[in-house]
Structure 1
Amino acid sequence: MYEPNLINLTTRQICAIESAAIHNPKSNIFLVYSNRRYRNKYVREPLLDTLLFYKNVYIRNVNLWSFVNDTPMEKWFKTGKLFESHFITIHLSDFLRLLLLWRYGGTYLDLDTITLKSLESMPHNYAGIQSKDIINQAVLKISSNGDGHKLAEQFLLDYQQKFSAIYWAHNGPSLITRVLKRTCCTDDILKMINNPKCCKDFNVYPRNAFYEINFEELDFFFDEALLDQMLNRTQNSIVLHLWNKFSQHRKMKVGSNVAYDLAAQIHCPRTYAKAGEYF
């Protein structure tokens, strides 16, 4: 018997999409995936139905083999080198986000984020620093023309020229950092902050914008004793990044007085209401 390969999203991933939709009502929010999954209109999926309550949310499937046609990545992709990756899901995500931004422009958000404030009035091109050595691409905006589009092409060329199948971050945060060091008038990441003139109209935000809590500090999301400190540290944050690789196995009981629970109640309320005992 044929079994439908349905879209399978976690509560936290749906929260990421809902929070983006709530805070950016004038923007279209696309969930883009490349595996052959789809919605079955005859099967009720309460969490997914809750998400699609928002009229600016759309789900789209991409056939990578045709999507790369007439792009700088066509020949390289069809060599199959990407599929030699030891971290295929991660490296495919790195690849697809850059290709989407090159084709259409827009803002990319990872599915382990919570949007806290509107992104609609932010500059055309930006990313944020994770540390003094790394600019991350979990939140990345690129314009569809001008210097932004040229930079998107540089990201793609670096991806194929320096692709690594064995290093987890090499084709993601390390790539963004490498290209911006070549593009900007300085190798010092901290000097790029709030200095778009240096980086050809690309804006680099300080750590507190998107990555105030790093992957070694996950207790701030899940420990009630750290709630006040967490609220103080993230009061100027625009997005929270939850570092799914490290946080996905940490359960959060709905109704617990921890920062993640509070953020979910406020920024993805429909998802939170349907979550059940654990979020």
Structure 2
Amino acid sequence: MRLLVVYKYGGWYSDLDTVTINNTNYINWNILANTGNDHLGNANFGFKANSEYIAKYLQACADRYTITTAWNGLGPMLMTEVLLNMTIDQGIAPTYYPGSKIEVADPKRFFPIHPMEASIAFTSQEDSFWQEKLTKAEIIHFFNLITESVKVSPGNILYDYVGRRYCPNTYSIKGNLNLL
């Protein structure tokens, strides 16, 4: 659904388990993010309406959709494959690809915590640690699916660091909602 809406109207999509921490108004409107895992992520992306890339991605989804590919088979790996086909296998390194008019963002911009290290977001760290991790970040992804069973450490976890600075109103009611 998210891709259909962005295809028709253009715009930005972010998963609900992300927090935007810097102004993103300057971002190229045809942007995908490299996750640092040799594939693109589908947690954050932005496109102009009627994007050629999204049209090709939606067609690839229609061609491949089955009960077994309904969830994971149509996400990051297919997004990567579609871009590789458009850029003639130039890779997915963070750069602007003029032929496809798409920017692939550096992982540190949208995935400052590598997916394989996602559980670190729930360990207590000094502010200086989080500040260093987020130096180049514009958006933070909390990887709900990967981290849903991670035990949360008491103390200054990433949610605390980010919540106090970027979501103070929501963060202030954390205890009342029994979020952590």
What TM bracket, shorter-length normalisation? 0.7 to 0.9
Choose the corresponding residue for 1:271, options 166, 170, 173. 170
Corresponding residue number in structure 2 for 1:119: 24
1:197 corresponds to? 98
What does residue 46 of structure 2 align with?
141
**Greater C-alpha radius of gyration:** 1
**Structure 1 equivalent of residue 34 of structure 2:** 129
Contact 1:218 1:247 in 2 (8 A): yes
Equivalent AA in structure 2 for residue 107 of structure 1:
W
In the TM superposition, what is the alpha-carbon distance from 1:222 to its structure 2 partner?
1.7
How far off is 1:164 after superposition?
A: 3.9
Which residue in 1 is equivalent to 2:53?
A: 151
Q: 1:160 aligns with which of 57, 62, 65?
A: 62
Q: Check whether the contact 1:132–1:189 (CA below 8 A) recurs between aligned residues.
A: no
Q: Flag as ranges the 4+ runs of structure 1 deviating above 3 A.
A: 225-230, 249-254
User: Partner of 1:217: helix, strand, or coil?
Assistant: helix
Please tell me whether the aligned partners of residues 121 and 157 of structure 2 are also in contact (alpha carbons under 8 angstroms): yes
- Which one of 228, 251, 260 corresponds to residue 159 of structure 2? 260
Name the TM-score, length of structure 1 as normaliser.
0.58
Deviations 1:148-193 (A, max 9, x none): x222211110110012422442111112101101111434222xx2
Helix, strand or coil at the partner of 1:181: helix
Q: Which amino acid aligns with 1:118?
A: N
1:100 aligns with 2:1: no
Within-5 A mapping of 1:17-32: none
User: Residue by residue, what CA displacement relative to the aligned partner does 1:38-83 show, whole Å, maximum 9, x if unpaired?
Assistant: xxxxxxxxxxxxxxxxxxxxxxxxxxxxxxxxxxxxxxxxxxxxxx
SS at match of 1:128: strand
Q: Is the 8 A contact 1:129 1:204 kept in 2?
A: yes
CA distance in 1, matches of 2:148, 2:126: 19
- Asked if the contact 2:126/2:156 (under 8 Å) is kept, the reply is no
1:189–1:164 distance in 2 versus 1, CA, 3 Å: farther
Corresponding position of 1:79: none
Deviation per CA, 1:87-117: give whole Å up to 9, x if none: xxxxxxxxx1111111111000001101111
- Runs of 5+ unmatched residues, structure 2: none
Confirm or deny: 8 A CA contact 1:110 1:139 kept in the other structure.
yes
Mark the CA change 1:251 to 1:227 in structure 2 (over 3 Å): closer, same or farther: farther
Structure 1 gaps of 5+ residues are: 1-95
User: How many percent identity over aligned positions?
Assistant: 23
Q: Which residue of 155, 177, 182 maps to 2:85?
A: 182
Instruction: Tell me which residue corresponds to 1:70.
Output: none
What SS does the aligned partner of 2:116 have? Answer: coil
Opposite residue 6 of structure 2, the aligned amino acid is: L
Alignment partner of 2:98: what SS?
Answer: coil
Task: Let me know the Cα RMSD of the aligned residues.
Answer: 2.1
Q: How far apart in 1 are the matches of 2:29 and 2:124?
A: 37
Q: 1:25 — aligned with what?
A: none
| Contact 1:252/1:261 (<8 A) preserved | no
Shift of 1:136: 0.8
Map Cα deviations across residues 10-58 of structure 1 (whole Å, 9 max, x no partner): xxxxxxxxxxxxxxxxxxxxxxxxxxxxxxxxxxxxxxxxxxxxxxxxx
The answer (yes or no) to whether the contact 1:253–1:278 under 8 Å persists in 2 is no
In the alignment, which residue of structure 1 is the partner of 2:142?
242
Higher-RCO chain (CA-CA 8 Å, sequence separation at least 6): 2
Q: Secondary structure at the match of 2:117?
A: coil
Q: How much has 1:252 moved relative to structure 2?
A: 4.9
Deviation at 1:132?
4.5
Q: Aligned residues, how many?
A: 177
Deviation at 1:208, TM superposition (A): 0.6
